[in-house]
Amino acid sequence: MRRWGGPNRGGAAVLAAVLAAATAAGAAATAGCGVRPTGVLSAGAKPVASGTATSGIVYLLSEGRMLVPAVRPGLPGHPYLPLAQLQVPPTMSERRHGLTTAVLPRPLLRAFTATDDPSLLIVGMADEGPLPAGYPSRAALAQIVCTATAISGIDAVDVSRFPQTVAPRSPLSCDDFDDMR
């Protein structure tokens, strides 16, 4: 007869068998995945960012409605970015210096060079419905023209609402707005 609380050799054997099976299963699981341990592998040199940071000039307006050049960050390969940036409100720093803009955020400005004269930039406005009365104002036109002629290689600008149908008839330059500089 067995006494209560005495040694149970059958239970110890079962426990030992379970522990051995669990250890074997764990070893098989980690070894069976096909990944062999390796040391540290070299992947080559660290990546290094390089390139030339560009900037562009946008012409904003002072409190006295005079043209003031302001430097904005550029992107390599996007020479007409200053025209798009002209439609972005002045930065906090520019506003602190009393600068503003007469160029509206819409309609979007579109720019392309004339096929027969790459120094002539044709700037138009996307057809996004009727324009506000009197837009673009002379101040907005001066900002657009002076910003466009600040782009390398551009000497003159034709601003028209539909550049694809209207030939450049009277190119403008920033000199046409000397009274605002």
pLDDT, mean of residues 138-166: 80
Q: In this predicted structure, what is the pLDDT of residue 174? A: 95
pLDDT of residue 2 exceeding 60: no
Comparing 9-18, 50-59, 84-93, 97-106, the range with the smallest average pLDDT is 9-18
Chain mean pLDDT for the chain? 80
**Residue partners of 76: CB distance under 8 A and separation at least 6:** 51, 52, 54
Give the 3-state secondary structure percentages of the chain, helix then strand then coil, rounded to 5: 30, 20, 55
Tokens encoding 27: 């070893």
pTM of the model: 0.68
Q: What are phi and psi of 123, to 5 degrees?
A: -115, 130
Q: In this predicted structure, what is the pLDDT of residue 21? A: 67
Contact 154, 146 (CB under 8 A): no
Mind listing the pLDDT tens digit for each residue in 17-28?
766 666 666 655
Strands (DSSP E) contained in 2-160 are: 55-61, 67-73, 109-113, 120-125, 156-160
Per-residue HEC secondary structure of 128-178 comes to: CCCCCCCCCCHHHHHHHHHHHHCCCCCCEEEEECCCCCCCCCCCECHHHHH
Tokens encoding 37: 């341990």
pLDDT, mean of residues 153-179: 72
